[in-house]
Amino acid sequence: MVPFKYNLRSLRARKVGSLMTIFGVGMVVWASIFAFGLSAGLDKTLEIAAGPLDVIVMRKGSTSEAVSAVSDEVARDIIALPGIATNRDGRPLAATELVIFGYLPRRGQTQKVNVAVRGVLPVSRELRDGMQIVEGRDFRPGVREAIVSRAMSERFQGLGLGEEFEVRGGMFRVVGLFEAGGGAVESEIWTDQSVLAQLTNRTGAMSCVQFRAASKTDQERLINRIKADEQIDLNAMTEEQYYAEQAQQSMLIKIVGGMVAFFLTIGAMFAVANTMYGAIASRAREIGTLRALGFGRFSILLAFLLESLILCTLGAVLGCLGALALGDIRTGTMNAGTFTEVVFAFNFGPSVLLSGALLAVAMGLIGGLMPAIRAVRMRVVNALREV
């Protein structure tokens, strides 16, 4: 085997060239991680949102809460079904919820976008694990007060603590900010259900029913029960399913992200190949000497592949560090499943960084292969004669 030190020293001998290649690979890895982080962040937000035992009941055919309707009588029947988990007071963990579209401008913009406004019952809070008010207080029932997530309050006009915003002609005051571990709830405005129902003239029917099953088997049984019941005539699904379908709707982001990574990686492969061809051309005599010393073809092939891998791995490290240096970027886009704004943070988690690093490894291996093959195919005599 050619000693590892040989590779390191060779790279150091061509300092500027090596650094430029490392930097180039680093930028490509960074851009790919950026694109992956965006779609992974959106997926993660929707994934966190789902409680494993939670079930959502909507009108048949509806794919989002805002366009669904469930009549109050049917909702009462569902909430009374056996198998629903109960809280400490013995009340079922089930609630009707009313979701409507608000229409608000982001900070610094005039164009308004759709946001979800959720009218809730006291028990709704217990259905969201980890949701807590971090600033201000909870809204009081019966008055036009609302709580919003910290992320939403930073992103939208009129949603700061103490500020007022308009929904369907009614002015609401923001009295509290909450956090919920980054889930989809953090893209919503919460207010009292009866207040919202009155404002929007909704009587006799809310949007959906959400409940927590006591166990996995209860969950399955309840879903089948509700779906089969012709009296109820509604569709039930686990929250996991509900959010997975929404994540699926955001295909465009995934496709664009994949395209960025794909074309940049191929481009970078050419660049790495170029650097390695250059390295090999200028070291023809060295390679001849190595061969003359008795190093086999295979170990020389490995040595050059290793060298291009080192280049790319250093680039990958640079790219990952660059992505981590961006820190916690929050952004928002339209959730194609619900047609409302979803706020989320870029996800630069281990799996995203790893996929960026894997791209770099692919660049190193594929980009380094052809030059390395050329190196081993040199004839010793010719190589030694080279100037």
Task: Write the DSSP assignment of 210-261 as a string of letters.
Answer: EEEBSSHHHHHHHHHHHHH-TTT-EEEEEHHHHHHHHHHH-HHHHHHHHHHH
Any bridge partners for residue 103, and if so which?
A: 114
* 2, 7, 10, 21: which one binds other proteins (CB under 8 A): 21
**Binding residue for other proteins (CB under 8 A) from 194, 237, 277, 302?**
277
Contact stretch for other proteins (CB under 8 A) within 143-151, 208-216, 296-304, 333-341:
333-341
**339 near other proteins, rule: CB under 8 A:** yes
The interface region with other proteins, picked from 84-92, 184-192, 210-218, 258-266 by CB under 8 A, is: 258-266
Stretch that binds other proteins, among 97-105, 176-184, 216-224, 283-291 (CB under 8 A): 97-105
Q: Judged by CB under 8 A, does residue 334 bind other proteins?
A: yes
205: left (phi over 0), alpha (psi -120 to 50) or beta: beta
Rg value, the chain, Cα: 29
Residues contacting 23, CB < 8 A, separation 6+: 315, 318
Q: Rule CB under 8 A: choose which of 13, 259, 380, 381 binds other proteins.
A: 259
Question: How many whole angstroms separate alpha carbon 329 and alpha carbon 176?
Answer: 23
Alpha-carbon distances, residue 302 vs 38, 115, 257, 291, 368 (angstroms) = 36, 56, 33, 13, 10
2, 10, 11, 30: residue in contact with other proteins (rule CB under 8 A): 30
Q: Which of 171, 147, 187, 381 is nearest to 287 (CA)?
A: 381
Site for other proteins in 158-187 (CB under 8 A): 168
Residue closer to other proteins (CB basis): 93 or 352: 352
Residue appearing with tokens 């946001």: 115
Q: Which of 2, 11, 35, 121 binds other proteins (CB under 8 A)?
A: 35
User: Considering beta carbons, is residue 124 or 275 the nearer one to other proteins?
Assistant: 275
Which stretch in 25-33, 124-132, 136-144, 182-190 sits in contact with other proteins by CB under 8 A? 25-33
Residues 6+ apart with CB under 8 A from 225: 81
Only segment of 125-133, 141-149, 287-295, 325-333 that touches other proteins (CB under 8 A) = 325-333
For the record, the structure tokens of 182 come out as 């980054």
Which of 7, 10, 34, 57 binds other proteins (CB under 8 A)? It is 34
Q: Note whether 31 binds other proteins by CB under 8 A.
A: yes
